[in-house]
Amino acid sequence: MAETCLNCGNPVMDNYCSNCGQKKFKRIDKKYIWNELQYTVFHTNKGFLYSIKRILKNPGKTAREFIDGSRVNHYKPILLVFVLSGVATFISYKILNLRKMMSDYFSQQQQMNSKFTGDLMSFLSSYTSILMLLSVPLFALTTKIAFRKWGHNYYEHIVMNAYILSFYTLVSIVFVYPIMFFFRNSPDTFYNITQVTILLVPIMLVWFFKEFYKDKPLKPILLKVLGVCGLTIVGYLLFIILGGLVVFAIAVMKGPEAFEYMKPN
């Protein structure tokens, strides 16, 4: 027997009102309160744990499912990557004290011959997760250019890159950060671990896109991933040049003290 929706008055035949979407009326009980706690505190409903499990298992296939329309069980990828980046930044900053470790490492290196250079490299190494999050639209541009003939628009590439970064961040949280914590008193080993994880990114990209484009041969995917890496390096160099010009302009405005800060030791 159909019930009446208490929100709009429409007959409710299933669990949700077909007119306004309100859930069929049920009394507030222990189960209701638990579901609310999950949403408010743990945020595990709407597919959070499901998406994490699927991404760790196969990020490319998971991204393809979401983009092709199988979305009801998945957590929203843009929100997911924000949440994971926040967790990763908290762990690296509060638990690993990554910035201090990187600062200690770069201060020992002869090539870091100015306090400014050491501080800059320390900052870039310490906040990789948050910087990569901010760069998702730019990474999406590189993958869109490289895979432009394979049928997905720029906004779909943003979603792809959200899944790529989610996988990278999850691997960091689950596997890399515990190893870093173990070697937290060895700056050299600590730094080498961060470099290895970055060097593994091209392999991760090949795997991701091979699973995403299941019907495509491996060779063109390899070539396109190389193109993505090349475009990323060019973009990074342009960013460094632009950043250097901005820093130089600021130094000119601030005067001799700023140049002393950047001067070799």
Per-residue model confidence (pLDDT) at position 214? 92
Per-residue model confidence (pLDDT) at position 232? 84
Residues 74 and 134 in one domain: yes
Residues 15 and 130 in one domain: no
Question: Has this prediction a pTM greater than 0.75?
Answer: no
Residues 79 and 93 in one domain: yes
What is the number of domains present in the chain?
Answer: 2
Per-residue model confidence (pLDDT) at position 118? 47
Residues 60 and 151 in one domain: yes
Residues 89 and 15 in one domain: no
Residues 248 and 138 in one domain: yes
Residues 100 and 22 in one domain: no
Per-residue model confidence (pLDDT) at position 218? 95
Residues 12 and 124 in one domain: no
Residue numbers of the domain that contains 37 = 1-42
Per-residue model confidence (pLDDT) at position 127? 52
Residues 179 and 190 in one domain: yes
Residues of the chain with confidence (pLDDT) below 50: 112, 118, 122, 125-126, 258-259, 261-262
Residues 30 and 102 in one domain: no
Residues 16 and 139 in one domain: no
- Residue type (1 letter), 251: A
Per-residue model confidence (pLDDT) at position 163? 95
